[in-house]
Amino acid sequence: KYIPINSVGIYVPGSSVSYPSTVLMNAIPAMIAGVKRIVMVNPCKNGKYNPGVLYAAKKCKISEIYAVGGPSAISALTFGTKKIKKVEKIVGPGNLYVAAAKKEVFGQVGLESMTAGPSEVTIVSDKFSNPEWVASDLIAQAEHDVMAQCILISKNREFIQDVKKSIYNQLRSLDRSEIARKSLKSYGALIFVDSEKMIIDLINKIAPEHLELNIKNFKKILNKITNAGSICLGKYAVMAMTDYNVGSNHILPTNSSSRYSSGLSVNEFYKRISLINLSKKGIESLGPSVITLANFEGLEGHAKSVELRIRRK
C-alpha cells in the first residue's frame, strides 16, 4: 500500500543566486505523489526574494515560504519553531554546510536517499569533441559553488590542453568567474588516460552527479557505466539542459552517492506499508518452516505463536 507523506520541506539555495528550477524539480514530484503540505525555505539576498523563485512557488501552489537558509533552515524544518511547523521529510540540494546539517538530523526527519550537493560533473571527451564546448560545460558546473567538482577525462593530450586554454579565455567574461575559478582550482581535474577501461573504471569510482559522454561512440561504454546520477549522451546532450527542461530531475546524488541511490522522483514522497493476509491453509503450509527457523534462533515465543494456530485439535 502506497501512502504519500504528509509534509515535506523543500530547501532552495539562494544566498548568492536563486534557482526557480530547483523549486519545480522538488515540488512537482511531491505534488504528483499527493503530499498535503509543502514548505519552502529559501534565503533572501539583500532582504529580498528572487521573483523567479516566488513565481515558481506560486505555480506549484506553495503558500508556506520562509526566508531562512543554511543549517538554521534544516534545523527549523526538523524540530519546528514558533513560526515554522516541523515537517516529515526534507529534500533539495545545498552547499556543504546544508548537506552536513541534513546528515546530522537524519532519523529525526526523513531525507532523500542520497547526498545532494555540492554539484559535480564528469566529462569524457575524444578527438572529435569541441574543446570550447567542453570548457564551457566545466565552467557551467563550476559557477554553481566554489566547492563544485568538475572533471574532464580524455585519451587525447592535445585536446586536454586546448580545453585548458579555452577555460582561461572564457572565465575572463563570466559574471561568476571568481566562484568558477576557485571551484576549478580546488576541485577541478583534467585527467589523461590511455585506455577505455581506465575511463570506465574512473567513472564508476567517481560516481558523478552529472556525466557527459561527449564522445563519438558513447554506446560502446554506456552499458559498462554503473555509477552516475544522470548521463548525457553525445555532444548536444549537455548538463545545463538537464538542469531545466529535458525531462530528467536535476536533484541528483552527489559525493559518490550514485553508487547506491538515484535522482529525486515521486517515489521519495511515498511511504510503503506491507499488507499480509493468510488463510488457515496458508499458515499450515508455511508455518512449519517458520517454527524451525524460530527455534533455531532461540525465539521460542515466535514458534509458539505459530504452533498454536496450526495445531489440530
* Catalytic residue (one of 143, 210, 212, 250): 210
Q: With contact defined as beta carbons under 8 Å apart, do 185 and 205 qualify? A: no
DSSP string, 101-120: HHHHHBTTBEE-SS---S-E
Q: Which H/E stretch holds residue 91?
A: strand 89-91
Cell 514530484 belongs to 29
Distance CA 270, CA 254 (A): 22
Instruction: Return the C-alpha torsion angle 288, 294, 299, 301, nearest 10.
Output: -20
d(CA 304, CA 313): 15
DSSP code of residue 20: H
Q: State which H helix or E strand residue 212 sits in.
A: strand 210-214
Secondary element (H or E) of residue 210 = strand 210-214
Catalytic residue among 112, 209, 212, 268: 209
Give the distance from CA 269 to its chain's centroid.
14
* Residue 250 designated active-site: no
> With 0-12 CB in 10 A as exposed, 13-18 as middle and 19+ as buried, what is 17?
middle
Known catalytic residue: 210?
yes
List active site positions: 209-210
